[in-house]
Amino acid sequence: MGLKSLLMDQGMKLLQDPRFGKLASDPRVMKAVVQAISLPAKVQEIGADTVAQLTKRLNLASEEEVAQLRRTVRRLEEEVARAAQERREE
């Protein structure tokens, strides 16, 4: 029996338990469950905001700015290569 099926079996047993039904009907418990589920996303958002503020304070380039610069450099390199090719053809 795999871990997934074991967890599914235990979950089904838990859902059939009347104590769980009573607990799940308590709005305070459900509010806590919803908050616990949304916690990882909130932590990630706070971390991203903190990194963005820190990079701004330290005058560092963001990932998006670096990506934009790379695209610009690639485009300019292509233009230089085309101009050099045109010059050779003349």
Taking residues 20-34, report their average pLDDT.
86
pLDDT in tens, 35-45: 999 999 999 99
Examine residue 55 and state whether it is found in any structural domain, yes or no. yes
Q: Distance between CA 73 and CA 57 in Å, rounded?
A: 26
Examine residue 1 and state whether it is found in any structural domain, yes or no. no
Q: Domain count of the chain? A: 2
Residue 47's domain spans which residues? Answer: 8-59
Same-domain status, 53 and 65: no
- For the ranges 9-18, 68-77, 79-88, the maximum mean pLDDT occurs at 68-77
Q: What confidence category does residue 1 fall into, taking pLDDT thresholds of 50, 70 and 90?
A: low
pTM of the model: 0.47
Q: Distance between CA 67 and CA 44 in Å, rounded?
A: 22
Residue that has been written with the tokens 């230089």 in this structure: 80
